[in-house]
Amino acid sequence: MTVDRHLLEGKKHIHFIGIGGAGMFPLVQILHAEGYTITGSDNNESDTLARERAMGIPVVLGQRPENIKGADLIVHTAAIMEDNPELIAARQSGVPVIERSVLLGYLSTLYPHAICVAGTHGKTTTTAMITQMLLDAGLDPSAVIGGLLPSIGGNGRRGESDLLVVEACEYVDTFLKLSPDVALLLNIDADHMEYFKTMDNLIASFHRFAAMATTQVIANGDDPRVMRAVEGITAPVVTFGFGEGNDYHPAGITIGEGVRAEFDLIRRGENLGRLALHVPGRHNILNAIAAVAAALEAGADLAHIKRSLHDFGGAGRRFEVLAQLGGITVADDYAHHPAELKVTLESAKGMRFKRVWAVFQPFTFSRTAMLLDDFAAVLPIADKVVLSAIMGSREKNTYGIHTSDLAAKIPGAVWFETFEEIARYVCDRVEPGDLVITLGCGDIYKAAKLIIHRLEEMPAAR
């Protein structure tokens, strides 16, 4: 896709409609650091809005036509509906209006070495790992991450080098707006099928993304769909995976309590030594190998990479432990696809908790309807299943799907309309030794905060 390389010429004031979005925040951080005047609006309070206000950015709650005053470029998220009054006013104003992915695509053209991380699962964790490795190695990258990385105080940063690490999302082919020098393909699974329709179409989009890489493609050699996607690619292809036939693969994996995993890293037959990883789950071993491969190929030294991986505590909302009160652990995770829920819940079940509570918020009506039986198959991995109302986001419920449809397929599952009801139900029944993990890519983390608040008020937690 053609990128307007003059997009920001003459622009001083950029207004963001939906400024609290996970994809908006890193762009806000980078452009704020570049000296642009940033304003924005959103409909819901969030931790992200609090961080943006702390940066001195004026953020308005509620979306109204007058919010765009003074802007010479207006950016909106894909989640903003066409009948949004602020978006309508923006399009009538004569000021250029673009969707967030267009701005991200433009930014990716500014860096001679853009590492773009794609895949149905694991993008945020892997992007965060690579960013941390390059930072620790002194390579000063810029970054656009879908989750919070504590060391950079947000989801994005502006570095001084020619390196950019960016999360590349396949939703409605937005990753085709990027200009990748290195394309990293983690996996390909059935998601966003309301858009792609067929798996062949999805693989074809990943192929187009990989074909845009100018320097290198790093691909999961264990994933048949990924390997189909990289067929015929002209850029050199480096593979990673558990299989010994990959350019990068682990050997001698051990799983422990304190150090979640240790393994030798083999690169094209050479043992690079022992690596330790503290984020749980076998899937994160694969994410780590992909990140190490990308960081090494980008010029980071192995000693810094090993130390960085050892110290990596995860990105925000990726099995993030929020509190431990009265013997009860409360965590939060971004998992919103059945495959992600499966690995997250299996990891949780392997961590010796008495019971695992899955508090899940379905996201979008289309995904819930299309993958209803898949969700019903994996959620019972948990001992207790609590469901919230579906977060429709960018969609209207043309599918006639409701949370009650999912709850009916899961023995013992309960569902509630509000987070307050969820918190009350969980706190009345949770016991010491239990893990309560909120799951979903919407705002279900707010339920975790309410649960923590209620637990703090309980006598046993004092």
Q: Which residues are catalytic?
A: 123-124, 167
Greatest Cα pair distance in the chain: 64
CA atoms lying within 13 Å on the CB side of residue 326 = 17
The 10 Å Cβ neighbour count of residue 83 is 7
Q: Are strands 384-387 and 163-167 parallel, antiparallel or unpaired?
A: unpaired
Instruction: Find the angle CA(394)-CA(398)-CA(401) to the nearest 5 degrees.
Output: 95
Phi, psi of 299 (to 5 degrees): 105, 5
Q: What is the dihedral of CA 286, 290, 291, 293, to 10 degrees?
A: 130
Beta-carbon contacts of residue 362 (< 8 Å; ≥ 6 apart): 336, 368, 375, 387, 388, 390, 391, 403, 406, 440
Q: How far is CA 271 from CA 137, 263, 325, in A?
A: 21, 10, 43
- Kindly state the tokens that stand for 303: 């000693």
Q: How many whole angstroms separate alpha carbon 269 and alpha carbon 228?
A: 25
Q: How many whole angstroms separate alpha carbon 132 and alpha carbon 418?
A: 37
Q: Which of 457, 381, 399 is nearest to 424 (CA)?
A: 457
Sheet holding 97-99, edge to edge: 59-61, 37-42, 13-17, 73-76, 97-99
Q: Are strands 384-387 and 113-118 parallel, antiparallel or unpaired?
A: unpaired
Question: Token match 């997250």: residue?
Answer: 344
Radius of gyration of the chain (CA): 22
Instruction: Find the angle CA(252)-CA(258)-CA(263) to the nearest 5 degrees.
Output: 15
Q: Which of 388, 375, 396, 373 is nearest to 420 (CA)?
A: 388
- What residue type is assigned to position 72 of the chain? D
Q: How many whole angstroms separate alpha carbon 180 and alpha carbon 186?
A: 15
- What residue type is assigned to position 17 of the chain? I
Q: Indicate the length of the chain as a whole number.
A: 462
**Which helix or strand (DSSP H or E) is residue 261 part of?**
strand 261-267
Q: What is the dihedral of CA 249, 238, 245, 117, to 10 degrees?
A: 50
